[in-house]
Amino acid sequence: MKPAIAFIAVLALFFAVQTTWAGSVSGTIQVSGTKVKTTGAKSGKDVVVYLEKVGGGDYPPPPEEHAVIDQKNLVFVPHVMAVQKGATVDFVNSDTTEHNVFCVDECCKIVGDLNARKPKFLDLGNFPGGAKASHTFTIPGEGVMLCKLHPEMSAYIIVVESPYFTMAEIDGDSQSAKYVIPKVPPGEYTLKAWHKKLTVPEQTITVPENGTVTTDLTLQKKQRRRR
């Protein structure tokens, strides 16, 4: 083999090894027909965009590192958090007063107790300033975290099946945001989005072995069910 050809061959091999087959999904998010408040502790600026494999499938495990929600000045920070199913969230009390965390939504049911006549739900009890309490979320869905001691406190945890999700923040002036979900293995996915008041129609997308799928999303009011 001539040196030049050998060099090209080595280079080709190098790139082949370097390439991990994955694409990315990105686009814009536009609020339509309404306006969301993007300031304050309970603003509606947060959007979660996520993918689920069509027909289901295996995903890499969630990160071992715990996610953290702070309780500071009687506010849950952040107000919205997305986690992969199986992830653990630490609730940290950074105030001097006691806090509590409880949730009565489907994704906060205590596993092992799912078929009980009266299932138990996440309740971490009261814990003092400087302490923390943890919960592992194993059921997909939306959970509203509340504090029994301070009714004004609330946070949303969105439990997603896959690790292919991202969070975006709506800009107050343009009422729009951009999102990118990187490193998605090729295949067919359902693209979904979560917002605490608005909704995005589901879409099916095909992620290529390499490259970007651009999908723009429109956040709109939830349709009321007709009787």
Distance, CA of 34 to CA of 178 (rounded, Å): 18
- 147: contact with Cu ion by CB under 5 A: yes
* Cα pseudo-dihedral 141, 181, 201, 27, rounded to 10: 150
Residue closer to Cu ion, measured from CB, 112 or 128 = 128
Helix (H, G, I), strand (E, B) or coil at 6: helix
Contact (CB, 8 A) for 137 and 157: yes
Determine the interface stretch with Cu ion among 18-26, 57-65, 143-151, 212-220 (rule: CB under 5 A).
143-151
Token pair listed for 162: 């896959």
Of these, 57, 149, 171, 214, which contacts Cu ion (CB under 5 A)? Answer: 149
Residues contacting Cu ion: total by CB under 5 A: 5
Identity of the residue, 95 or 106, whose beta carbon is nearer to Cu ion in the bound complex: 95
Q: Smallest gap, in angstroms, from Cβ of residue 165 to Cu ion?
A: 28
Rank residues 48 and 101 by Cβ distance to Cu ion and give the closer one.
101
The binder of Cu ion chosen from 45, 99, 195, 196 (CB under 5 A): 99
Contact with Cu ion (CB under 5 A): which of 66, 121, 150, 166?
Answer: 150
Indicate whether 42 belongs to the interface with Cu ion (CB under 5 A): no
Give CA angle at 30 (27, 33), nearest 5°: 155
- Shortest distance (Å) from residue 100 CB to Cu ion: 6
φ/ψ (deg, to 5) at 49:
-115, 130
Q: Give the C-alpha separation, 51 to 194, whole Å.
A: 11
Residue 188's identity, in one-letter code, is: E
Is residue 131 near Cu ion by the rule CB under 5 A? no
Q: Is 75 in the site for Cu ion (CB under 5 A)?
A: no
Q: Write down the residue that tokens 């603003």 correspond to.
A: 43
* Chain residue whose CB lies nearest Cu ion: 147
Could you list the residues that contact Cu ion (CB under 5 A)?
Answer: 99, 147, 149-150, 153
